[in-house]
């Protein structure tokens, strides 16, 4: 009993060391995933719940105005970064001495945001005639670019692999958005007022983030240095164009539907897209956590790079297959649970888009290893092909099939990009994709998803509340997967004997 306080103190110190210090590759990845999971879990859940109420209270048409304006701003927001945030993380994680260039990068980021803001304001006059939507675009532009400046702060923290700071920041940001968004949507419900609530929240958040960063991490200062700007832009321009093309085939469908006057359809489409985006949270967490480690491993050894990539790919396979399976067969229950019968057209859209989500999961390890391996120029050509394919498909399918055509165009585009990424990675011989570990993971995930499907489609399970159906599906899936890998491990041990 006398040793109990000492043991508690020791355990507390061990936990603190594990979650706040970088000791090994696996521990650092786990620490980063933990903090990003906490941040994304809390922030995405809060904002997701807020968006549910926004869609319900505003209705499909008013919600369509808001999502169209947001998609339009996001489409142009790529010019506010031009890939410098990701390059900053990559370069700073390799050489800490590069941090001396950070003041110049901050000033470059500021000028990029200012120029993009002017571009959005001018473009809005040629895109939409509705004065209310135009005003929403202007307000949301300030909101989005406030968040864009935070990206360059997160890039620095990611390079130092201090994801815990980013986690706390994102949680605070989510609470501010939910607080101001809820206040507006329940008292002054309109798309314009909601945009104002978002702007106020992001201004408060950015002020607090900059103060913390300045006094606790790195003193903020600006430096006018065209030479450093040119150096980083020379490295980042392929990523900038790649991000532009990715943004095009992520947002152009909503912009096209809005431009064609399909505002209500835009609301239905984005209602389904919002849930699909929620399922992509694990992918984003793993991608952010693995990228600095992949970048460092690239400089150290090909074997280490391969091992880390294998971990990431196996995780993506394990997550992607059940999400697609469960999403397709529980789509009606999910849409009716999240929204209301007004959003019935969103059901088929969600069934189509959840396939896109699975493809994005499987594509993300290829994205990360290509950029970590300094292949951003070749990655650019892949995303350009995807953007052009998506624009052509949208031009053909949206006028004929509206929101369903947009969903199909998105899935085809993502699948094309996925195939091109595989081809490029194999051609460059960066990593080995076709290996036994990946194959066994595919088989295990496939078998487990098949059994999960059989269980959740039984009337006794399907007619339960959707939350219970989903939870039972998750438990069954991971239980079968655990048994599968345990069997493989036992078989391997017996063969060695």
Whether the Cβ atoms of residue 424 and residue 370 lie closer than 8 Å to each other: yes
Dihedral of CA atoms 466, 472, 478, 480 in degrees, nearest 10, equals -130
Q: How many CB atoms neighbour CB 302 within 10 A?
A: 14
The tens digit of pLDDT for each residue in 314-371 reads 999 999 999 999 999 999 999 988 887 888 999 999 999 999 999 999 998 888 888 7
Query: Can you tell me the mean pLDDT for 205-232?
Result: 84
Q: How many CB atoms neighbour CB 114 within 10 A?
A: 12
User: Does residue 161 surpass a pLDDT of 50?
Assistant: yes
User: Does residue 12 surpass a pLDDT of 70?
Assistant: no
Residue 80 pLDDT level (bands cut at 50, 70, 90): confident
Percent of the chain surpassing pLDDT 90: 17
SS (H, E, C) 168-191: HHHHHHHHHHHHHHHHHHHHCCCH
CA dihedral for 209, 215, 217, 220, sign (positive or negative): positive
pLDDT of residue 281: 79
* Block residue for tokens 């609301």: 267
pLDDT of residue 448: 94
Percent of the chain surpassing pLDDT 70: 88
Nearest to 40 by CA among 356, 284, 320, 327: 284
Q: What Cα–Cα distance (Å) separates residue 363 from each residue in 241, 303, 367, 370?
A: 18, 21, 6, 11
Q: What is the residue-averaged pLDDT of the chain?
A: 80
What are the phi and psi torsion angles at 277 (to 5°)? -60, -35
pLDDT of residue 249: 66
Nearest to 60 by CA among 278, 342, 399: 342
Higher pLDDT, 265 or 1: 265
The reported pTM is 0.68
d(CA 146, CA 151): 9
d(CA 240, CA 6): 53
The tens digit of pLDDT for each residue in 409-434 reads 999 999 999 999 988 888 887 787 77
**Tokens standing for 116?**
């993009």
Least-confidence region, from 134-138, 154-158, 406-410 = 154-158
Q: Whole-angstrom distance between the N-terminal and C-terminal Cα of the chain?
A: 45
The tens digit of pLDDT for each residue in 448-497 reads 999 999 999 898 888 888 889 999 999 999 999 999 888 877 666 544 54
User: Does residue 214 surpass a pLDDT of 70?
Assistant: yes
Q: How many CB atoms neighbour CB 106 within 10 A?
A: 19
d(CA 395, CA 406): 9
Query: Can you tell me the mean pLDDT for 273-284?
Result: 83
**DSSP annotation string for 120-142:** HHHHHHHH---HHHHHHHHHHHH
State the helix-helix crossing angle for 226-259 and 263-279, rounded to 10 degrees: 130
Least-confidence region, from 178-192, 243-257, 381-395 = 243-257
Instruction: Name the DSSP class of 217.
Output: I
Least-confidence region, from 149-163, 213-227, 411-425, 440-454 = 149-163
Dihedral of CA atoms 227, 233, 236, 238 in degrees, nearest 10, equals -140
Residue 17 pLDDT level (bands cut at 50, 70, 90): low
Query: Which spans in 301-375 are helix H?
Result: 302-329, 331-338, 346-372
Least-confidence region, from 110-114, 288-292, 350-354 = 288-292
Higher pLDDT, 319 or 387: 319
User: Does residue 270 surpass a pLDDT of 50?
Assistant: yes
Least-confidence region, from 62-66, 95-99, 460-464 = 95-99
pLDDT of residue 339: 83
pLDDT of residue 21: 54
Least-confidence region, from 68-72, 162-166, 339-343, 464-468 = 162-166
pLDDT of residue 36: 66
* Block residue for tokens 């993009």: 116
d(CA 330, CA 335): 9
């Amino acid at each position: 009993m006398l040793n109990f306080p000492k043991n508690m103190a020791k355990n507390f110190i061990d936990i603190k060391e594990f979650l706040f210090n970088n000791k090994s590759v696996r521990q650092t990845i786990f620490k980063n995933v933990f903090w990003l999971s906490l941040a994304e879990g809390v922030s995405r859940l809060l904002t997701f719940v807020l968006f549910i109420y926004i869609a319900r209270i505003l209705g499909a048409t008013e919600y369509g105005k808001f999502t169209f304006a947001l998609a339009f701003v996001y489409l142009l927001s790529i010019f506010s970064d031009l890939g410098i945030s990701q390059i900053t993380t990559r370069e700073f994680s390799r050489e800490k001495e590069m941090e001396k260039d950070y003041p110049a990068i901050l000033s470059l980021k500021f000028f990029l945001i200012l120029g993009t803001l002017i571009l959005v304001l001018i473009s809005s006059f040629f895109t939409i005639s509705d004065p209310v939507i135009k005003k929403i675009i202007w307000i949301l532009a300030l909101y989005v670019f406030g968040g864009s400046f935070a990206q360059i702060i997160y890039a620095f923290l990611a390079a130092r692999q201090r994801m815990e700071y980013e986690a706390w920041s994102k949680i605070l940001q989510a609470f501010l958005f939910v607080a101001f968004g809820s206040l507006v949507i329940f008292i002054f419900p309109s798309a314009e007022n909601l945009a104002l609530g978002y702007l106020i929240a992001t201004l408060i958040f950015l002020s607090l983030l900059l103060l913390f960063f300045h006094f606790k991490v790195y003193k903020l200062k600006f430096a006018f240095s065209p030479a450093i700007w040119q150096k980083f832009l020379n490295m980042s321009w392929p990523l900038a164009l790649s991000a532009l093309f990715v943004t095009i085939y992520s947002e152009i469908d909503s912009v096209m539907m809005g431009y064609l006057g399909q505002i209500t359809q835009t609301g239905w489409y984005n209602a389904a897209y919002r849930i699909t985006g929620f399922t992509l949270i694990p992918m984003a967490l793993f991608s952010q956590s693995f990228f600095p480690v992949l970048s460092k491993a690239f400089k150290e050894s090909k074997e280490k790079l391969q091992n880390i990539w294998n971990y990431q790919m196996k995780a993506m396979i394990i997550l992607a297959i059940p999400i697609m399976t469960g999403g397709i067969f529980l789509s009606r229950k999910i849409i009716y649970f999240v929204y209301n019968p007004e959003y019935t057209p969103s059901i088929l859209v969600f069934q189509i888009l959840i396939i896109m989500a699975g493809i994005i999961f499987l594509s993300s390890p290829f994205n990360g290893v290509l950029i970590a391996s300094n292949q951003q120029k070749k990655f650019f050509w892949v995303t350009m092909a995807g953007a052009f394919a998506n624009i052509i498909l949208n031009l053909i399918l949206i006028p004929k099939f509206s929101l369903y055509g947009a969903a199909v165009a998105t899935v085809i585009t993502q699948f094309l990009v996925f195939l091109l990424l595989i081809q490029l990675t194999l051609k460059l011989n960066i990593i080995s994709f076709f290996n036994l570990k990946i194959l066994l993971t595919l088989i295990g995930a496939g078998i487990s998803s098949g059994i999960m499907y059989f269980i959740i489609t039984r009337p006794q399970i399907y007619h339960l509340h959707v939350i219970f159906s989903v939870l039972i599906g998750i438990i069954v899936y991971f239980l079968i997967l655990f048994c599968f890998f345990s069997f493989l491990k036992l078989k391997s041990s017996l063969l060695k004997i």
